[in-house]
């Protein structure tokens, strides 16, 4: 790995280098080994107790017969370095990495990758999940900054010879460009902008003090030199997807936290459990060289304090963020909240790594509007999903009894191991989870899993078989799929559900088997690697992609990463937006009047936005020219 320049790598690719899995068989062979497209459809027909209008075969005919619920004309693929939206819509930039949130921050300067001294006073790097809140009549967006790109943020032009972290100042700059931004936004005649110096503006970074609560708080494995009580931690790491609570707070989700820790002594023995999480002696940003709390040799427990869901109150800039350990420790993608029929809180959660799992948290207490919500995310039960080939599924409780672990704290610290112990289903990288706003069902993007094969295992040794009729049916799955489940008796608190695949992405121009995708994938709406996902107020599913945008070979005809809209009732999927080449489209929220959609553009290529000297991750706004609502 040392011989490879990692400064351009995505986190997925970096993790892949860190954890090389056995090579899969050659592509032709795995294609032949997968079930036929026809066979898969037959399996889907088993959804629920009978074939219904929801099955994918039915989708095509329903689509032809029913009036479309799409309010836009779908757009073609693109391969350029800008954004495209349907006719009748406009877009513009809300904010880009480096834009000041406060007037005391240095203005954006492309020659130095942004001012190091005020990196925690500007909009951070690599925008990801976000949510908009109405606070005192103002519109406030909380948005994640997932990671940094050393070659852009520490440019050689600023006197850096290497664009690598080789000083404490470099490390601090990168720490301050990550985390979360909370910012007030306002609409003008020409678009939308940040309200600089708003009292709501705030940066939360890799160093912001936060509180640990829930079963793992105070556990011996969470105690460090600086925090012998194990209840106070500095910072949040690799903030990926997001969520919103029913009581108006923001949930930010710590994903690839493993890569932030390293060992200054290469002979350091890794503590139990580190291997399952991919924590090793080599880090990505060399924080451990300049800050001992990231050094596994000196502080072996610090890494146990990351990998959680963090709750932030966007209405109170002085509030302390809270890490909710009851929601488990893994590579959290996002968090989707809903209620059981008896008003207990449900949070669906995905663990984005090959062969990891889909989770559900259910609180013990019930939610009442205006009531005390402080313990709802501390006191409850975590479950993991097991999918059966007959279209049924179960939520398996993770408790000391079911897992054989000593106590609930260990379940919340070594959650992956707990889920393996109960026999959960290994998934094709669970990314965003979303709960329908109109139907008793929920969805999870399973982005891809190039390593799924008959002889493959996840990091815990659990088999990653490619089995016909399962939610992860394809070996060498480069395209991804979206699984849908309907809880028994329409109660998200039920421990059983029925499932099907809403869509299986694929390329019908290149393949005529399972890799062509499901029937609702056509030459006109092809995409790969569904990742971000939000359901709007009409129940339509907005799907964002983070895949191969080469537009060649297996991916020919798919173009740049994109945002599509899916109708869960007909199966129809239509392309709404294309991002700049090189970018991932991730993060979506709406203005309070639903007339503007805000969309995240992460790690763009070229000169996005607006002929910038270096590409800048940005949040853009999209409006209809006639002022009608979107979503
Ligand atoms: Fe940060 Fe799994 O996406
Ligand atoms: Ca440097
Ligand atoms: Ca993602
Ligand atoms: Ca992804």
Lowest-confidence segment of 10-19, 30-39, 209-218, 616-625 by average pLDDT: 30-39
Contacts 24+ apart (CB under 8 A), 369-372: 369/246
Give 418's pLDDT tier (boundaries 50, 70, 90). Answer: very high
Average model confidence (pLDDT) for the chain?
91
Lookup: tokens for 284: 């990505």
Asked if pLDDT for residue 374 goes beyond 70, the answer is yes
Cα angle 323, 329, 330; round to 5: 125
Identify whether 609 is preceded by a cis peptide bond (ω within 30 of 0): yes
Q: For residue 9, what pLDDT is reported?
A: 73
Asked if pLDDT for residue 596 goes beyond 60, the answer is yes
Q: For residue 157, what pLDDT is reported?
A: 61
Rounded Cα distance between 490 and 68, Å, is: 26
Rounded Cα distance between 212 and 504, Å, is: 39
How does pLDDT run across 514-534, given as a tens digit for each residue?
A: 999 999 999 999 999 999 999
Q: Which SS3 state, helix, strand or coil, does residue 325 take? A: helix
What's the whole-number mean pLDDT along residues 38-42? Answer: 32
Residue 508 CA, ligand 1 centroid: distance in Å = 27
Closest-lying ligand to the alpha carbon of 447?
Answer: 4
Q: What percent of the chain has pLDDT over 90?
A: 85
CB 88 within 8 A of CB 608: no
Rounded Cα distance between 161 and 148, Å, is: 18
Closest-lying ligand to the alpha carbon of 352?
Answer: 1
Residue 464 CA, ligand 4 centroid: distance in Å = 19
CB 605 within 8 A of CB 580: yes
Q: Which SS3 state, helix, strand or coil, does residue 57 take? A: helix
According to DSSP, the residues that pair with 31 across neighbouring strands are: none
What's the whole-number mean pLDDT along residues 565-572? Answer: 96
Lookup: tokens for 435: 């709960």
Lookup: tokens for 628: 């009608």
What's the whole-number mean pLDDT along residues 26-38? Answer: 32
Asked if pLDDT for residue 162 goes beyond 90, the answer is no
Q: For residue 56, what pLDDT is reported?
A: 38
Q: For residue 158, what pLDDT is reported?
A: 64
Identify whether 41 is preceded by a cis peptide bond (ω within 30 of 0): no
| Ligand 1 atom closest to 238 (CA) | 1
Which residue, chain included where needed, has tokens 């596994």?
296
Angle of the 56-65 helix axis to the 37-44 helix axis, nearest 10: 80
CB 362 within 8 A of CB 385: no
How does pLDDT run across 44-79, given as a tens digit for each residue?
A: 333 433 333 233 333 443 444 446 789 999 999 999
| Ligand 1 atom closest to 240 (CA) | 1
| Residue ranges of domains in the chain | 11-68+125-575
Q: What percent of the chain has pLDDT over 70?
A: 90
Closest-lying ligand to the alpha carbon of 153?
Answer: 2
Q: How many CA atoms lie within 13 A of 333 on its CB side?
A: 29
Give 556's pLDDT tier (boundaries 50, 70, 90). Answer: very high
CB 488 within 8 A of CB 305: no
Lookup: tokens for 169: 């100042």
Q: Say if strands 127-135 and 138-145 run parallel, antiparallel, or are unpaired.
A: antiparallel
Helices (H) and strands (E) in the chain, counts: 9, 28
Rounded Cα distance between 321 and 250, Å, is: 10
CA-closest residue to ligand 1 atom 1: 240
DSSP state of 106: P
Closest CA to 440 of 561, 569, 334, 548: 569
Residue 416 dihedral angles phi and psi, to the nearest 5°: -60, -45
Rounded Cα distance between 337 and 248, Å, is: 12
Q: For residue 47, what pLDDT is reported?
A: 40
What's the whole-number mean pLDDT along residues 273-288? Answer: 97
Rounded Cα distance between 326 and 334, Å, is: 15
How does pLDDT run across 190-235, given as a tens digit for each residue?
A: 999 999 999 999 999 999 999 999 999 999 999 999 999 999 999 9
What's the whole-number mean pLDDT along residues 254-280? Answer: 97
Phi-psi category of residue 136: left, alpha or beta, with phi > 0 → left and psi -120 to 50 → alpha: left
For CA atoms 362, 366, 372, 375, give the dihedral sign.
negative
Residue 220 CA, ligand 3 centroid: distance in Å = 32
| Ligand 1 atom closest to 255 (CA) | 1
Q: For residue 401, what pLDDT is reported?
A: 98
DSSP state of 107: P
Q: Which residues line ligand 1 (CB under 6 A)?
A: 146, 240, 255, 333, 352, 431
Residue 452 CA, ligand 2 centroid: distance in Å = 38
Residue 106 CA, ligand 1 centroid: distance in Å = 30
Give 161's pLDDT tier (boundaries 50, 70, 90). Answer: low
Asked if pLDDT for residue 38 goes beyond 50, the answer is no
Asked if pLDDT for residue 43 goes beyond 60, the answer is no
């Amino acid at each position: 790995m040392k011989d490879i320049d990692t400064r351009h790598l995505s986190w997925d690719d970096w993790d892949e280098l860190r954890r090389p899995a056995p090579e899969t068989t050659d592509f032709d062979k795995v294609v032949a080994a997968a079930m036929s497209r026809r066979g898969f459809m037959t399996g889907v027909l088993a959804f629920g107790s009978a074939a219904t209008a929801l099955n994918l075969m039915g989708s095509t005919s329903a689509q032809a017969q029913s009036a479309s619920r799409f309010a836009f004309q779908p757009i073609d693929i693109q391969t350029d370095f800008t954004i495209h939206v349907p006719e009748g819509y406009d877009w513009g930039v809300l904010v880009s990495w480096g834009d000041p949130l406060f007037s005391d921050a240095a203005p954006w300067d492309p020659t130095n990758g942004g001012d190091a001294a005020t990196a925690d006073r500007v909009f951070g790097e690599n925008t990801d999940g976000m949510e908009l809140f109405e606070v005192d009549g103002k519109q406030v967006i909380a948005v994640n900054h997932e990671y940094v790109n050393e070659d852009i943020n520490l440019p050689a032009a600023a006197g850096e010879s290497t664009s690598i972290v080789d000083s404490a100042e470099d490390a601090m700059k990168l720490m301050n460009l990550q985390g979360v931004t909370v910012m007030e936004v306002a609409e003008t005649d020409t678009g939308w902008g940040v309200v600089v110096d708003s009292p709501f503006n705030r940066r939360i970074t890799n160093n912001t003090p936060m509180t640990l609560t829930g079963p793992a708080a105070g556990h011996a494995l969470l105690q460090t030199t600086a925090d012998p009580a194990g209840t106070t931690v500095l910072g949040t790491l690799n903030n990926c997807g997001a969520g919103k609570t029913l009581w108006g707070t923001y949930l930010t989700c710590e994903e690839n936290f493993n890569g932030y820790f390293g060992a200054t002594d290469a002979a350091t023995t890794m503590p139990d459990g580190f291997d399952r999480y991919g924590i090793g002696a080599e880090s990505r940003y060399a924080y451990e060289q300049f800050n001992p709390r990231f050094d596994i040799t000196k502080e072996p427990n610090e890494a146990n304090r990351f990998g959680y869901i963090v709750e932030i109150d966007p209405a109170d800039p002085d509030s302390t963020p809270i890490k909710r350990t009851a929601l488990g420790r893994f590579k959290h993608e996002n968090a989707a909240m809903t209620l059981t029929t008896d008003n207990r809180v449900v949070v669906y959660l995905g663990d984005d790594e090959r062969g990891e799992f889909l989770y559900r948290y259910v609180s013990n207490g019930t939610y009442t509007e205006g009531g005390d919500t402080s313990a709802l995310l501390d006191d409850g039960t975590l479950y993991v999903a097991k999918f059966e080939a007959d279209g049924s599924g179960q939520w398996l409780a993770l408790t000391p009894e079911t897992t054989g672990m000593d106590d609930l704290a260990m379940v919340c610290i070594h959650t992956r191991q707990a889920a393996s112990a109960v026999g959960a289903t290994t998934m094709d990288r669970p990314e965003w989870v979303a709960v329908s706003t109109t139907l008793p069902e929920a969805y999870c993007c399973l982005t891809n899993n190039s390593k799924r094969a008959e002889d493959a295992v996840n990091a815990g040794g659990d088999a990653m078989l490619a089995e016909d009729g399962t939610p992860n049916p394809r070996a060498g799955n480069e395209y991804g799929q979206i699984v849908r489940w309907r809880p028994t008796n329409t109660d998200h608190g039920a421990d059983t559900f029925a499932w099907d695949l809403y869509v299986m992405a694929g390329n019908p121009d290149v393949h005529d088997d399972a890799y062509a995708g499901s029937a609702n994938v056509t030459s006109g709406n092809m995409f790969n690697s569904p990742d971000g996902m939000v359901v709007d107020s009409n129940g339509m599913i907005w799907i964002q992609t983070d895949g191969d945008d080469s537009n060649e070979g297996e991916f020919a005809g798919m173009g740049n990463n994109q945002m599509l809209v899916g109708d869960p009732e007909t199966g129809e999927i239509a392309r709404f937006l294309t991002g700049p080449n090189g970018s991932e489209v991730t993060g979506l929220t709406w203005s309070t009047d639903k007339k503007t959609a805000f969309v995240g553009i992460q790690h763009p290529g070229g000169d996005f936005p607006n002929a910038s000297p270096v590409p800048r991750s940005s949040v853009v706004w999209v409006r209809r020219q006639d002022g009608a609502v979107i979503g």
